[in-house]
Structure 1
């Protein structure tokens, strides 16, 4: 295919994705009979508008926000002199300058600036809401929420609406997710090529970041890479520990790659590419069995509760150190649903129905309480009418089985 055709096809995919995602947001507003939603979460802003500006910084320092109305109009408050980040975005947008009332930028003027912000938000909302007082909000500091309520608005849970909007992926989104995953796979391949005894966990982890950034990726949400005895229990971030020949090495990419989509893959290797011990092979075989059994189980129309109840039974020695969920949604970042283990259902479970078009990560961690090492595996899939299909070609260590 000619390069010009590839560029045209890519541009068409982006246009289709932008149209689809905004339509999903508007559908939620209409379903909840809500005239507008105020978005601060940079991931939600990216989903609704495909604009991005200092995502991690603005996640900590709320300094850009948008209001999306059910009729498709968007008012965007952008960070200081950054209107250019909207160049090329074909949306019905009214652009304004953001009012930041975080302490970093407002100091002892926080309350007065928050009042200025609140007055503007209320004025914009009422100008288009036709007498309705319900405004959905995804996240808001207490002083902001209090001021909006004081002004007579009723605040609804906008984060739930956005999670529901983001749950079903279009064909175009799957193309973009595939682009992110290909970059992630290149990072994993680079890690494997560079892996050798004597380097540190952090040195190895840097190779994934390198490939992500050089191919237009954005950030990595966690630093979950550990080796040897640090693989048990799971959830230790990478350190200066020196890798030793024969150690287990486990990682979870959690990589927000190109186009803002997350690639979430976990694999476990041995350092030095040595033949694993019998105990290491046993751990690996159990983890492999868990995720593949649970992948085969997934079907659209199945309830979350049913899936949890039928999921692979974790042998008793490994129950205490089990992963936090059986599976979870994935898109731009981790998304709803998070499927609790049966043993955790009463305290952490919630029900729902799997639908065609959901993208999910099926999880496993196998490491005995008090054990020396553990194995972490995770596979990213899309749910089709016939079951789930892997989205990554990243291989498993099947010769260990």
Structure 2
């Protein structure tokens, strides 16, 4: 069992908060957004996605709820004040945050909130934004938006404001991390590793997948994390194919257990690592074979990472997935990470012409390298993933969580 071999982690997350200058980190991120707006020729953006709002301003408010109830957004001009439109009676949440110059009440652009008044509210929303563009947009009649509801698009167009896509500038802004962001990411990963340790120590035949997965949730919240974005834990036959979220299935002795953290941890930063292990028994030769193949894929592709390497070249040089496992391959080769999975997403070589796009790895990108190995129609599958920092000399592994030594022998 795991606890007989190694017990990584400690009982609690300990770190010096002075390691991270929150004001400096917030200002860096806001400046990155403004710089990317300039590079793309835009004078302002309007952000609704809660993660984008948090990235740009350092403020948060009921992130999961706001994703489906669009009652919070921020106006960011290249030159002029940052104006946050917040949920009713929530102005106090941004007190003392230097990246927000003004807070105003938001209009909820949803039918559930406004019903027959939606057009009226959207008209008022558009009038407010048009006035800000007139004052701070330098004559530009375009505004970059990310997840603006349809009613907002229609109303802004009636005001003579053309909406353009903010995804490119915002994703490129988020891709390059500051030293403070890197430290925050390391802390978030450390928090998840403690939760993973608790999962490993608690795992036993007879408990359900949901029971085991809940330990990571509890641990993350206890250490000031936000939430877990997915439910990607499965056992036994449910590990193949991948993406079967955890259930009330009872875990059996000898089952392969595979999971992907997808943890939004302290400071909002993402921990995205995956591990697989066998519950309550020695691994079979087949389980070892799958694990060794997944490990080989991860390690081979990690070694390739370096600044200046193109995404296309990385895909071409990456470990070749055997035909046996190809149809069940993970959807991407690697991807960026910040507050969630982010730009870039690197396709496999075989998928590159259809799904891929080119670009270059740059220093201070955080990249997650993926592997899923499970044959189509096979009994089980192995999921491994490692989170890496691109450095001037190559790549640094951010996780310290061990692999299963007895499955690599």
Q: Calculate the TM-score normalised by the size of structure 1.
A: 0.96
2:325 corresponds in structure 1 to 318
Query: What is the CA distance between 1:398 and its match in structure 2?
Result: 2.6
Distance in 2, matches of 1:322 and 1:268, equals 16
Distance in 2, matches of 1:398 and 1:148, equals 58
Structure 2 unaligned spans of 5+: 1-14
1:373 corresponds in structure 2 to 380
1:13 corresponds in structure 2 to 21
Distance in 2, matches of 1:92 and 1:210, equals 32
1:309 corresponds in structure 2 to 316
1:237 corresponds in structure 2 to 245
> Comparing 105-114 with 40-49, which one deviates more in the overlay?
105-114
Query: What is the CA distance between 1:359 and its match in structure 2?
Result: 0.1
Preserved CA contact (<8 Å) 1:72 1:92: no
Preserved CA contact (<8 Å) 2:133 2:140: no
The total of aligned residue pairs comes to 394
Distance in 2, matches of 1:101 and 1:368, equals 46
The equivalent position to 1:338 in structure 2, one of 325, 335, 345, is 345
The equivalent position to 1:285 in structure 2, one of 283, 292, 302, is 292
Query: What is the CA distance between 1:93 and its match in structure 2?
Result: 1.0
Distance in 1, matches of 2:350 and 2:270, equals 28
2:34 corresponds in structure 1 to 26
Structure 1 unaligned spans of 5+: none
The correspondence of residues 89-100 of structure 1 with structure 2, limited to 5 A, is 89-91=97-99, 93-100=101-108
1:105 corresponds in structure 2 to 113
* Counterpart check, 1:156 vs 2:164: yes
Distance in 2, matches of 1:374 and 1:216, equals 32
Preserved CA contact (<8 Å) 2:205 2:250: yes
> Comparing 119-128 with 292-301, which one deviates more in the overlay?
119-128
Preserved CA contact (<8 Å) 1:79 1:97: yes
Query: What is the CA distance between 1:92 and its match in structure 2?
Result: 5.0
The correspondence of residues 174-213 of structure 1 with structure 2, limited to 5 A, is 174-213=182-221
Any idea what SS the aligned residue of 1:392 has? coil
Distance in 2, matches of 1:280 and 1:78, equals 51
Any idea what SS the aligned residue of 2:21 has? helix
Distance in 1, matches of 2:338 and 2:109, equals 30
> Comparing 302-311 with 102-111, which one deviates more in the overlay?
102-111
Any idea what SS the aligned residue of 1:321 has? coil
CA 1:364 to 1:16, structure 2 compared with 1: closer, same or farther past 3 Å?
same
1:347 corresponds in structure 2 to 354
Preserved CA contact (<8 Å) 1:139 1:159: no
Distance in 2, matches of 1:207 and 1:385, equals 37
1:140 corresponds in structure 2 to 148
**Cα RMSD, aligned residues only:** 1.2
Distance in 2, matches of 1:293 and 1:85, equals 46
Preserved CA contact (<8 Å) 2:94 2:100: no
Query: What is the CA distance between 1:90 and its match in structure 2?
Result: 1.5
Any idea what SS the aligned residue of 1:119 has? helix
Q: Deviations over 1:233-271 (max 9, x none)?
A: 000000011011110000001000111111011000101
Query: What is the CA distance between 1:283 and its match in structure 2?
Result: 0.1
Distance in 2, matches of 1:107 and 1:296, equals 55
Q: Deviations over 1:16-52 (max 9, x none)?
A: 2111111101101111221110000000010011100
Distance in 2, matches of 1:94 and 1:14, equals 19
Distance in 2, matches of 1:201 and 1:127, equals 55
Please identify runs of 4+ aligned residues in structure 1 that moved more than 4 A.
Answer: none
* Counterpart check, 1:80 vs 2:118: no
2:70 corresponds in structure 1 to 62
Any idea what SS the aligned residue of 1:245 has? coil
Any idea what SS the aligned residue of 1:250 has? strand
Distance in 1, matches of 2:196 and 2:125, equals 45
Q: Calculate the TM-score normalised by the size of structure 2.
A: 0.94
Distance in 2, matches of 1:127 and 1:72, equals 9
